[in-house]
Structure 1
């Protein structure tokens, strides 16, 4: 089962807002989710992004793959940098498992 971190569309017609969710890659965009880890509102200036960093990091460590749009949001928040630092630190501690 492939798990993805992706956007789930909410809001009214012509006024989208999104939830950042963890879901099975086979489920539909607005279908069943595993966990809600944040939200994103592109309609305000600047865009409002609220992501629970601890939950996002734990899902990334467990192998969840972010979509392109979610990866860019995670970079803007700083989660991807933190994830790559922790990944590099763990590989430095365990060079045989790299």
Structure 2
């Protein structure tokens, strides 16, 4: 099963995360199918989030499951609502 989850980058105590589509049983920082965006939790003016929206929606429509953290990021960006709207049609 494909999961949308975070992989960690950055140095010690200064994390930066990538949103990645990965196999469920692979390691946290293992090989990813695709990288879909970045998330920087330490930016002062709000959290910096860059997401490739079309690719995320394509993975979700093909059955990928987001983790809780990725789902909350997608909800904040409004992508999860777009996915729910296309799912109901």
Is 1:81 matched up with 2:81? Answer: yes
Shift of 1:37: 0.5
TM-score (norm 1): 0.88
1:1-98 superposed matches below 5 A? 2-45=1-44, 46-89=46-89
- Give the length in aligned residue pairs: 88
Q: Which has the higher helix share?
A: 1
Listed as ranges, the gaps of 5+ residues in structure 2 are none
Greater C-alpha radius of gyration: 1
**C-alpha displacement at 1:59, in angstroms?**
0.1
Deviation at 1:61, TM superposition (A): 0.2
Highest RCO, 1 vs 2 (Cα 8 Å, sep ≥ 6): 2
Q: Which portions of structure 1, spanning 4 or more consecutive aligned residues, are displaced by more than 4 angstroms?
A: none
Separation in 2 of the partners of 1:7 and 1:51?
A: 12
TM-score, normalising length from structure 2?
Answer: 0.97
